[in-house]
Amino acid sequence: MRSSVVVQTPEEYESWLQENRIAQQQELKEAVALKPTDLSTSEFLAPYVQKIGVSSATLESIVH
């Protein structure tokens, strides 16, 4: 078996705690979960496309 340990500075750990406290304080009824199988291929891939900066021009420039 293999395991790993992440060591952070006290400042990084405190920042992480603050970020999680905000998330824990939100009402559960405000939480939104998506079921990927309910999305079309375009809807599922849209966030990834935006993140990596792919455009239709990029796709057209690829030689098949």
64 residues of the chain, pLDDT tens digit each: 899 998 999 999 999 888 887 666 656 556 667 788 888 988 888 888 888 888 888 878 887 7
How much is the pLDDT for 54?
A: 83
Please state the domain extents for the chain.
Answer: 10-60
Question: Is 58 in a helix, a strand, or coil?
Answer: helix
How much is the pLDDT for 20?
A: 81
Cα–Cα distance between 14 and 22 in angstroms, integer?
Answer: 13
How much is the pLDDT for 27?
A: 65
DSSP 5-44: -----HHHHHHHHHHHHHHHHS-GGG-----GGGS-HHHH
